[in-house]
Amino acid sequence: MGTRTVYLASVMFILFVLDFRKGFIALQCLLWANFFTNCLKEWLHQPRPYHVDASLKVFEDVGTQVRLNDADAPSFFAKLPRESVSAFQGVEEFDPGFPSGHTSTAVAFWLSLGIQSKARWFILLTALFVLLTMISRLYLGMHFIADVTGGLLLGFTVLALVLFVFQHGRIIASWASLQWYKNKYWYLAMGIPPVLMILPNAPVSTLGQLSGISLGTWFVCKAAFPNSKAAVWKRLSRFVLAVIIFILIDIFMSRFVPKSELPLWVYVRNTVQFFGVFYLALWLNKKLNLFEKPVY
């Protein structure tokens, strides 16, 4: 359930069928959690359980990554031997374990939806999903307890910060206001991603996606987010149209826009792609009157 496809389908459905505003905030939580998770993984470069215990049965395809025999901790709650951790610090061909990305993104994304719904049963359901995600990562041999704990704390931190910035009524209204140049929160949403590119090993693709989504949404909505209330056929039409636009732009970018490992180009490419998706999906849906008036 932590795959890109599941999250993508969930986000598109929430944005264009259920509630665009809540989906937008949840998407911000998801991407920022993904960004900081990947930063910490690259900076700390900590091994996973199967890296240090060759006898461990792994239920996922991990490729031909480096593994050390008998390099595990002496007991369940003991720390890993220093030499085991040091052996991986200079190895680039392995997927670091700390913090757990599945956990951090599950906390940030699903709990943001639960909190925004204000329904106790849904909050409990999303909390249960997060708990099962943590347990599954341990059971599959992909993470230590410290990894999922770190992911849990990181997810909660991102969740709290994003909800503070975006969910507060005055802040969200001023962010989308016409006089954006007078609004410090607009600069917060639009200006931080490109600045964070200077961080070492920063996942610039995620930063580009954040910039593209924010710009595309603002260019169409400006005064307010669209009102998602509508007949069922209109809601489903919005979703289908958005998915088609996403697929067409993805195909276009893959075939006609050159790829490069240059960080600036990766950032620009992702910004353009996600700007196109959100701008066209919102603009076309509004032109076809698939979003109800008034807006909020």
Q: What are the tens digits of pLDDT across the range 62-119?
A: 554 555 545 555 554 556 666 666 666 666 667 788 899 999 999 999 999 999 888 8
Q: Is 26 left (phi over 0), alpha (psi -120 to 50) or beta?
A: alpha
Tell me how crowded residue 169 is: count the other CB atoms within 10 A of its CB.
7
Mean pLDDT of the chain: 81
Q: What is the pLDDT of residue 165?
A: 78
Helices marked H in the chain: 4-13, 20-44, 49-52, 82-89, 101-117, 120-139, 145-166, 169-175, 184-195, 204-221, 232-256, 263-287
- In tens, the pLDDT along 161-202 reads 888 877 664 455 555 554 555 555 566 667 788 889 888 888
CA Rg value for the chain: 21
296 pLDDT more than 60: no
Q: What is the pLDDT of residue 178?
A: 47
Quote the pTM value. 0.85
Q: Is the distance from CB of 52 to CB of 13 less than 8 angstroms? A: no
Q: Percentage of the chain with pLDDT > 90?
A: 42
Q: How far apart are CA 222 and CA 225, in angstroms?
A: 8
Q: Pick from 277, 271, 283: which is nearest to 250 by CA?
A: 277
**Tokens found for residue 104:** 């951090």
Burial of 217 (0-12, 13-18, 19+ CB in 10 A): buried
Residue with tokens 């329904």: 119
- Cα-Cα-Cα-Cα torsion 200, 206, 209, 214, nearest 10 degrees, comes to -80
- In tens, the pLDDT along 192-241 reads 888 898 888 889 999 999 999 988 888 787 656 788 888 899 999 999 99
Q: How far apart are CA 64 and CA 251, in angstroms?
A: 31
Q: Is the distance from CB of 108 to CB of 161 less than 8 angstroms? A: no
Burial of 243 (0-12, 13-18, 19+ CB in 10 A): middle
DSSP state of 224: S
127 pLDDT more than 70: yes
Residue with tokens 């007949």: 231
From residue 25, give the alpha-carbon distance in Å to each of 13, 110, 199, 288. Answer: 14, 11, 24, 25
> SS3 letters for 153-200?
HHHHHHHHHHHHHHCCHHHHHHHCCCCHHHCHHHHHHHHHHHHHHHCC
Lowest mean pLDDT among 33-42, 59-68, 109-118, 254-263: 59-68
